[in-house]
Amino acid sequence: MSAGAVISSMGARRPLASERAVRCSFPMSDDQPPAARPNDALAAIAPLVRGETAVWLRAPGLGLALDAAPLSTDEIADARARFVRFEPVLRTLFPANDWDGQIRSDLVDYPMSSTPGLLVKCDHALPMAGSVKARGGVYELLCHVEELALGRGLLGTGQSLETLLSPASLAVLGTHRIVVASTGNLGFAIGRVARALGLQAEIHMSHDAKTWKKERLRAIGATVVEHDCDYTGAVARARQAAAAEDAYFIDDEDSRRLFVGYAVAAAELADQLSARGLTIGPGRPLIVYLPCGVGGAPGGITAGLKQIYGEHVLAVFV
């Protein structure tokens, strides 16, 4: 990798505005799904069908796209504050290795390169789930749990969330069901925390979900519903099941809360870059490589980074 260009793992080469670019990779789990399909035409994925690599580049000169419902700094700040409020609860539920309850990952130098400014954001090692789903999926679950607690009188305004760990509170939470569709990682993150909080967890899985991931979910007490369709079909069926059961559905395809939870990673990364003395701007852009499946996690992280750095960040979805 040359100092004046970024070469993605799919072979795309793009000139940089500066040789001082900071490059950061987000390995989001140890088992990534295939890259999401573009929406424009089947012809675009023909190379993938043939077993070849493919690259889709954004046309130059487009500038920043206008978002009809952009994320705000207040939303991201609220999400960070909610994670902090839940730290004592999560620390108690998952005490292994003296974990402090913070859902955060390290930023480290890329171990197999001598190129300066090449960093790894270790979301593949996030607590509880071992994937980036500990951000978006767990965040939406925590939002729902807090709303349930306030609505059912389990929690007073300003009261510590540790109240939720009482037997009476856990019994009430146990009457509620969470439904989500997943090929594994999202379902495990949500299922594990939901079950720890006493909630019922129903995970709908497509035909390509790995057997060991299904068994891992069953081992924590989640209900696994298997479908003979692809992931999109499993999401649609899970949505229908949640509506029929009056359960809370976490929608991996269309959830703002999920999106905001992922965006917290951007604010965290910005703090870590600042701590390293790295200032992102016209003379030093930030290039991030983001593993992409459905697109929720990389989309949320990118939206958060754009909120912070604007045009000085370039996201490469892999």
Residue 199 lies in a domain: yes
Count how many residues are written for the chain: 318
* Sequence-ordered list of residues with C-beta below 8 angstroms from that of 82, at least 6 positions apart, any chain: 139, 142, 143, 146
H-run or E-run covering 5: strand 5-7
Q: What is the mean pLDDT of each run of 10 residues along the chain (318 residues)?
A: 27 41 67 45 74 75 58 92 96 91 94 82 92 93 96 89 95 96 93 96 94 95 95 94 94 92 96 94 92 88 93 90
Q: What is the pLDDT of residue 38?
A: 44
Q: What is the pLDDT of residue 16?
A: 42
Residue 12 lies in a domain: no
* C-beta atoms surrounding 221 within 10 Å: 13
Range of the domain at 252: 137-256
Q: What is the pLDDT of residue 34?
A: 40
Task: Tell me the pTM.
Answer: 0.82
Q: What is the pLDDT of residue 33?
A: 42
Per the structure, the count of domains in the chain is: 1
Residue 204 lies in a domain: yes
Residue 314 lies in a domain: no
Residue 167 lies in a domain: yes
Q: What is the pLDDT of residue 4?
A: 28
Q: What is the pLDDT of residue 195?
A: 97
Hey, what amino acid is at 205? Answer: M
Q: How far apart are CA 219 and CA 9, in angstroms?
A: 36
Residue 154 lies in a domain: yes
**How far are the Cα atoms of 60, 127, 211 from residue 122, in angstroms, in the given order?**
30, 11, 26
CATH number at residue 165: 3.40.50.1100
